[in-house]
């Protein structure tokens, strides 16, 4: 590592030179006697650290710090003052100073330590920012794959809602990409620099969930040994993503409702009212409206959460997207595993298109990973796919279809398709017999085969 550059600004020669002598071994030291000459140096090249006196003839240390912090590569700024008072410290922090030290008690060891600490913090921040930029790429809307009309609508809604503070409710079966959408909303919002805090509401028992969200004072409940900052507070300035929101109990529902209305809350065991600037995004794979009707979910909360609803259709209803998704996953896993796999055979693609994907995109992703790992050449064949995908017949039993339909897990259209496939399998592809089995005319059968792209069956 190179020696960090340090600029010392002080109008008193003895202090200036004293500090230079003391710090010269550790840093690459420059000195200036006032803000103006300091500024000339700062403008020329980036400094790692600026250590400046407060009171100087001309511009004071606070103003210099403020200006230095506006540089493209701002230095770590430490203010020294002989007039140590809380007020100046607060002001200094407001102007962007990283630390504050009183000259009266100045010890070189301590000064060096403080400089090092401030430098370390800044490095961490830069790293965080870089990480953030990388994540931004990873979770931008461009990473949500899909051309199906239903997905276009999803993209449009994300783009429209991201810049606002509106509460979003994301619904869809397991594995349809709800978390991905939540991240894209955060990343495309003005809060992207702030935190995104995720809580899985199903993962915690009711009492713990409450303190997890709102925080708790020491002794608020048995086992609360120390103060706990809630997730809402942690999400200050950012986004709070509550996954599986259908699982929250009645008490937490009331508290959340209040938070959404007034933006205020209390930690458990405290009467002090706190507020937080947080954008709420929630998700569920349950039918929340049905829970409302059953009296398990508050209707008023439902409407507060679903200010902007986004529904992710199951993968089987957007089979159009399967090729693009499969290809993207193939590329990803081929790279990850260092395998020269480049494409999918027609047979493999057909199997993917025919399968009904109960686990949605997550299952497709896992299937492609499986196939890439097993694949021996440059092309994935039907044999490389997981057994469930290879032999979809098992899931197309009439019984299973009716069950899925009755529990609302299957749309009418998909059920019709599955029954059709089932009938064709049973009759070995005999159109006349299949039509008879389904109690429809041959003509209707042909129309449906065409509709579902099953002519080749
Ligand atoms: N449209 C998409 N494009 C690319 N990847 C996707 C898409 N949808 C989902 N995925 C991927 O599929 C996996 C599952 O997505 P995600 O975790 O967002 O689903 P979920 O709806 O939150 O599921 P669950 O209800 O089980 O929590 C993730 O690896 C995600 O990156
Ligand atoms: Mg999820």
The string of DSSP letters for 329-393 reads HHHHHHHHTT----EE-HHHHHHHHHS--TTHHHHHHHHHHHHHHH--SSEE-GGGS-HHHH-GG
Ligand 1 pocket test: pick from 313, 361, 364, 368 the residue with the most ligand atoms within 8 Å of its Cβ: 361
- Whether 179 lines ligand 1, by a CB cut-off of 6 Å, is yes
174 lines ligand 1 (CB under 6 A): yes
Enumerate the domain spans of the chain. 5-130, 140-312, 315-390, 394-451
Q: Judge contact between 231 and 197, C-beta under 8 A.
A: yes
- Residue 61 contacts residue 9 (beta carbons within 8 Å): yes
What's the gap in Å between 364 CA and the centre of ligand 1? 10
State the pLDDT confidence band at 139, using cuts at 50, 70 and 90: low
Q: Of 9-23, 134-148, 252-266, give the lowest mean pLDDT range.
A: 134-148
Residue 283 Cα to ligand 1 midpoint, Å, equals 12
Q: Model confidence at 142, in pLDDT bands (50, 70, 90)?
A: confident
**Does the Cβ of 177 fall within 6 Å of ligand 1?**
yes
Residue 281: its H or E element: strand 279-284
453: pLDDT strictly greater than 50: yes
pLDDT at 168: 97
On whether the 5-130 domain is CATH 3.40.50.2300, my answer is yes
> Minimum mean pLDDT among 23-32, 321-330, 360-369, 435-444: which range?
435-444
CA distances to 100, 110, 207, 248, 335 from 114, rounded to whole Å, are 9, 6, 42, 45, 44
Percent of the chain with pLDDT over 90: 56
Question: What spacing in Å lies between the alpha carbon of 181 and ligand 2's midpoint?
Answer: 10
pLDDT at residue 220, rounded to an integer: 72
Region 321-326: mean pLDDT is: 92
State the pLDDT at residue 84: 57
Give 218-279 as a DSSP string.
TTSSTT--S-B--HHHHTTTSEEEEESGGG--HHHHHHHHHHHHHSEEE-BT---EEE---E
Residues 6+ apart with CB under 8 A from 79: 52, 54, 61, 62, 65, 88, 92, 97, 99, 100, 101
Q: Report the pLDDT value the prediction gives residue 300, as an integer from 0 to 100.
A: 96
pLDDT band, residue 100 (cuts 50/70/90): confident
Residue 251 burial (CB count, 10 A): 12
For 32, 60, 103, 214, the CA distances from 55, given in Å and listed in that order, are 14, 5, 12, 44
User: What local confidence, expressed as pLDDT, does residue 136 receive?
Assistant: 56
- d(CA 52, CA 65) in angstroms, rounded, equals 8
208, pLDDT greater than 80: yes
**Collapsing DSSP states into helix, strand and coil, what is residue 457?**
coil
Q: Which residues of 104-140 are buried (b: 16+ CB within 10 A; e: fewer)?
A: eeeeeeebeebbeebbeebeeeeeeeeeeeeeeeebe
What is the mean predicted confidence (pLDDT) over 355-373? 94
pLDDT at 86: 64
Confidence tier at 24 by pLDDT (50, 70, 90): very high
Report which of residues 457 and 40 the model is more confident about: 40
The pLDDT of residue 224 is 66
Which of 60-74, 128-142, 357-371, 417-431 is most confident? 357-371
pLDDT band at 394 (very low <50, low <70, confident <90, very high): very low
Task: Specify the pLDDT at position 122.
Answer: 82
Mutational pocket test of ligand 1: of 177, 312, 358, the residue with most ligand atoms within 8 Å of the beta carbon: 177
| SS3 category, 396 | helix
Predicted local confidence at residue 285, as pLDDT: 94
Residue 34 DSSP symbol: S
Topology match between the domains 5-130 and 315-390: no
140-149, 152-161, 240-249: which has the minimum mean pLDDT?
140-149
CA 328–ligand 2 middle distance (angstroms) = 20
- Take atom 15 of ligand 1 and give the residue whose Cα is closest: 177
Average pLDDT, the chain: 87
Q: CATH second-level architecture of 315-390?
A: Orthogonal Bundle (1.10)
Is residue 451 over pLDDT 60? yes
Please provide the size of the chain in residues.
457
CATH architecture of 394-451: Orthogonal Bundle (1.10)
Specify the pLDDT at position 395.
Answer: 47
Instruction: Give residue 35's pLDDT.
Output: 94
Q: What is the pLDDT of residues 228-283, one digit of tens each?
A: 889 999 999 999 999 999 999 999 999 999 999 999 999 999 999 999 999 999 99
Q: Which CATH class is domain 140-312?
A: alpha beta
Question: What is the number of the ligand 1 atom nearest to the C-alpha of 180?
Answer: 18
| 176 CA from centroid of ligand 1 (Å) | 5
Q: What are phi and psi of 389, to 5 degrees?
A: -75, -35
Strands 196-200 and 239-243: parallel
What pLDDT does residue 83 have?
60
Is pLDDT at 397 greater than 60 in this prediction?
A: no
Q: Are 238 and 279 a contacting pair, CB within 8 Å? A: yes
Question: If 0-12 CB within 10 Å is exposed, 13-18 middle and 19+ buried, where does residue 250 land?
Answer: exposed
């Amino acid at each position: 590592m190179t020696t960090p550059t340090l600029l010392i600004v002080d109008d008193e020669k003895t202090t200036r030179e004293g500090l230079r002598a003391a710090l010269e071994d550790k840093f690459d030291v420059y000195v200036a006697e006032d803000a103006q000459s300091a500024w000339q140096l700062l403008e020329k090249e980036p400094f790692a650290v600026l250590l400046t006196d407060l009171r100087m003839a001309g511009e004071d240390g606070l103003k210099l710090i403020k200006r230095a912090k506006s540089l493209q590569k701002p230095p770590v700024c430490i203010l020294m003052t002989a007039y140590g008072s809380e007020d100046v410290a607060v002001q200094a922090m407001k102007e962007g100073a990283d630390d504050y030290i009183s000259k009266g008690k100045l010890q070189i060891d301590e000064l060096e330590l403080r400089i090092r600490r401030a430098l370390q913090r800044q490095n961490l921040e830069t790293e965080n920012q870089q990480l953030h930029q990388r994540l931004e790429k990873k979770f931008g809307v461009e990473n949500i794959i899909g051309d199906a009309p239903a997905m276009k609508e999803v993209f449009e809604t994300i783009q429209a809602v991201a810049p606002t503070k509106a509460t979003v409710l994301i619904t869809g079966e397991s594995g349809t990409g709800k978390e991905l959408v939540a991240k894209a909303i955060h990343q495309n919002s003005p809060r992207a620099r702030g935190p995104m805090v995720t809580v899985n509401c199903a993962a915690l028992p009711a009492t713990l969930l409450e303190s997890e969200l709102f925080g708790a004072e020491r002794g608020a409940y048995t086992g609360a040994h120390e103060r706990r900052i809630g997730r809402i507070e942690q999400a200050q300035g950012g986004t709070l993503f509550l996954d599986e929101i259908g699982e929250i109990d009645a008490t937490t529902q009331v508290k959340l409702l209040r938070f959404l209305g007034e933006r205020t809350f209390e930690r458990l065991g405290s009467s002090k009212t706190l507020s937080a600037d947080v954008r709420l995004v929630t998700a569920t794979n349950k039918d929340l409206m049905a829970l409302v009707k059953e009296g398990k979910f508050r209707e008023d909360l439902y409407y507060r959460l679903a200010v902007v609803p986004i529904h992710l259709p199951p993968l089987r209803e957007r089979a159009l997207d399967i090729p693009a998704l499969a290809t993207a996953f193939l590329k990803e896993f081929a790279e990850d595993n260092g395998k020269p796999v480049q494409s999918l055979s027609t047979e493999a693609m057909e199997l993917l298109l025919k399968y009904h994907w109960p686990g949605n995109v997550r299952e497709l992703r896992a299937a492609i990973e499986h196939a890439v790992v097993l694949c021996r050449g440059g092309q994935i064949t039907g044999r490389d796919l997981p057994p469930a995908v290879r032999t979809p017949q098992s899931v197309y039993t009439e019984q299973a279809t009716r069950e899925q339909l009755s529990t609302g897990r299957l749309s009418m259209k998909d059920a019709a398709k599955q029954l059709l496939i089932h009938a064709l399998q049973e009759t070995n592809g005999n159109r006349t017999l299949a039509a008879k089995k389904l109690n429809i005319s041959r003509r209707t059968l042909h129309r449906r085969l065409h509709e579902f792209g099953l002519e080749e069956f």
